[in-house]
Chains A and B, each alone.
Chain A
Amino acid sequence: LNRPVVDRIIRVDHAGEYGANRIYAGQMAVLGRSSVGPLIQQMWNQEKDHLKKFDELMVAYRVRPTVLLPFWNVAGFVLGAASALLGKKGAMACTVAVEESISDHYNSQIRTLMEEDPEKYKELLQVIKQFRDDEREHHDIGLEHDAEGAPAYSALKTAIQFGCKAAIFLSERI
């Protein structure tokens, strides 16, 4: 097993699911009692399952979590709450942006592992593929619920995706 590669992958994916969890928590705090509440709750529940899976993988592969977890804790919640304060469409736009970043990121990880050795990394590949599909679904749900109608949609989306890229870069390394 290529330890450095597996280490990075699990660390950053764990951080990502943790962040996604906190984003949905922030959105629920604001929009929990609105009409999109149940929908957000459902997506949140799926992220909780994802996080649980990465917790298990982290222990199994003895990977160190990122030091920035406490920071993602707060930043994620603030992002979720702030986007929700922009309204339901704002929350959906945030979801679209984040889920798009995450699924692109999962895709590049899948490519990396496939290039390395698909057989060796079969279990990990299966998990990442499944999660990538789930995140894409969330992305599509966001679009269906009129994310593009959110105020300053493209600026919002660009800003959030830039933040995601930075978060991914840092969580892989520290």
Chain B
Amino acid sequence: VRCQLCPPQRALQASAVLRRASDEQKEPFASSSQQQSSSHATDHQPEQEPQGPRPSYTGQGGQESEDYESEEQLQHRILTAALEFVPEHGWTAEAIAEGAKTLGLSSAAAGMFHSDGSELILHFVSQCNTKLSELLEQEQKLVQLGEAEKKPTDQFLRDAVQARLRMLIPYIDKWPQALSILLLPHNIPSSLNLLTSMIDDIWHYAGDQSTDFNWYTRRAVLTGVYNTTELVMMQDSSPDFEDTWRFLENRIADAMNMGNTANQVQSTGEAVVQGLMGAAVTVSNAGTSRAGR
């Protein structure tokens, strides 16, 4: 599982980037725009890779005492605590202030973050993605142990997308606001990153092993399904969002059909080419035999 916590984008980011650059070489999983928390879930590296102790992102590595908490960790704790106040206050500095207060900190701690609530939303998305990855990892383990049946691909995708979207339910009233904030230019790199890693995770656990252009088509299609279903969910007032899940089922079925249709088009195309070649050979044979007479 790749942890995808995106710490707040702040002026302090400059120092964080400098720290990251020196830590990157030692970091097993650091990708250029994602950072890690100090706790890791299991990963999927091939078994040959040595699983040594990993230095945390902040490079503590035993240099500080155990009570020392990095700024990132503190910010994560505040944002996590703030989530419970989102239904009431929205994705705002008020929610963050309330969260800080529950941790015994002054509400001025909210000043550490952007006023538009970007970090809170990104933190939430990242947390949901991590939860999804853990869920899928557990399911995979059960299948490997033989305690569960391997799901067919369409059902797997349906269940994974549904599980992920259900995490929005407690915050559904304020989610449209969050979506629009995620689309702000300064948030797009992070939100796009989180979206693409989530979709990649789902396909990975679904057993996708494509190494050709299908890698891209599959992810593009699933991203489309996810986004449209999310939007439908915002407008859905049916009991337990059953309309949304029905919409999801239909879109996944379409996606599966797309794959079949593509294959059929290709086979038909090949058959047509064969037919034309045969016709050409026949015509040329007819021509030469007439010429020979």
Interface residues of A (CB under 8 A from B): 1-4, 14, 54-55, 58-62, 64-65, 67, 69-70, 116, 119-120, 122-123
A2 touching B24, Cβ below 8 Å: yes
Name which residue of chain B comes closest to A119, CB basis: B50
A123 touching B48, Cβ below 8 Å: yes
List 8 extra interface pairs beyond A59-B211, A61-B45, A67-B216, CB under 8 A. Answer: A1-B49, A3-B27, A3-B28, A55-B211, A58-B211, A65-B215, A70-B213, A120-B50
B50 touching A65, Cβ below 8 Å: no
The yes or no answer to B42 lying at the interface (CB within 8 A) is no
The yes or no answer to B155 lying at the interface (CB within 8 A) is no
In B76-122, the 8 Å CB interface with A consists of none
CB-CB < 8 A to B246: which residues of A? none
A1 touching B45, Cβ below 8 Å: yes
CB-CB < 8 A to B213: which residues of A? 65, 67, 69-70
- Distance in angstroms from B105 CB to nearest chain A CB is 34
The yes or no answer to B44 lying at the interface (CB within 8 A) is yes
B215 touching A61, Cβ below 8 Å: no
- Distance in angstroms from A173 CB to nearest chain B CB is 12
- Distance in angstroms from A56 CB to nearest chain B CB is 9
CB-CB < 8 A to A120: which residues of B? 49-50
CB-CB < 8 A to B211: which residues of A? 14, 54-55, 58-59, 65
24 examples of A-B residue contacts, CB within 8 angstroms: A1-B28, A1-B29, A1-B45, A1-B49, A2-B24, A3-B29, A3-B30, A4-B32, A55-B211, A59-B211, A60-B46, A61-B45, A61-B46, A62-B44, A62-B200, A64-B215, A65-B211, A65-B212, A67-B216, A69-B213, A70-B213, A116-B25, A120-B50, A123-B46
| Inter-chain CB contacts under 8 Å: number | 46
CB-CB < 8 A to A116: which residues of B? 25
Give me the 8 closest cross-chain CB pairs, A-B, nearest first: A60-B46, A55-B211, A59-B209, A58-B211, A1-B28, A3-B31, A65-B211, A123-B48
Listed residue (A69, A70, A119) with the most chain B CB atoms within 10 angstroms of its CB: A69
A12–B118 CA distance with the chains assembled, in angstroms: 36
- Distance in angstroms from A89 CB to nearest chain B CB is 31
CB-CB < 8 A to B44: which residues of A? 62
CB-CB < 8 A to B31: which residues of A? 3-4
The yes or no answer to B204 lying at the interface (CB within 8 A) is yes
A131–B126 CA distance with the chains assembled, in angstroms: 40
How many chain B residues touch A (CB < 8 A): the figure is: 23
CB-CB < 8 A to B204: which residues of A? 62
- Distance in angstroms from B63 CB to nearest chain A CB is 22
In B191-240, the 8 Å CB interface with A consists of 200, 204, 209-213, 215-216
A60–B44 CA distance with the chains assembled, in angstroms: 8
CB-CB < 8 A to A14: which residues of B? 211
A120–B213 CA distance with the chains assembled, in angstroms: 30
A58–B217 CA distance with the chains assembled, in angstroms: 17
A40–B209 CA distance with the chains assembled, in angstroms: 30
CB-CB < 8 A to A122: which residues of B? 48
CB-CB < 8 A to A67: which residues of B? 213, 216
Name which residue of chain A comes closest to B28, CB basis: A1
A62–B215 CA distance with the chains assembled, in angstroms: 11
A55–B211 CA distance with the chains assembled, in angstroms: 6
Name which residue of chain B comes closest to A1, CB basis: B28
A2–B23 CA distance with the chains assembled, in angstroms: 10
- Distance in angstroms from B167 CB to nearest chain A CB is 23
CB-CB < 8 A to A60: which residues of B? 45-46
A59–B205 CA distance with the chains assembled, in angstroms: 12
A75–B65 CA distance with the chains assembled, in angstroms: 58
CB-CB < 8 A to A70: which residues of B? 213
Listed residue (B46, B49, B211) with the most chain A CB atoms within 10 angstroms of its CB: B211
CB-CB < 8 A to A2: which residues of B? 24-25, 27
CB-CB < 8 A to A59: which residues of B? 209, 211
CB-CB < 8 A to A119: which residues of B? 50
Name which residue of chain B comes closest to A14, CB basis: B211
CB-CB < 8 A to A1: which residues of B? 28-29, 45, 49
CB-CB < 8 A to B46: which residues of A? 60-61, 123
- Distance in angstroms from A65 CB to nearest chain B CB is 5
What is the 8 Å Cβ interface bit string for chain B, positions 47-87, against chain A (1 contact, 0 not)? Answer: 01110000000000000000000000000000000000000
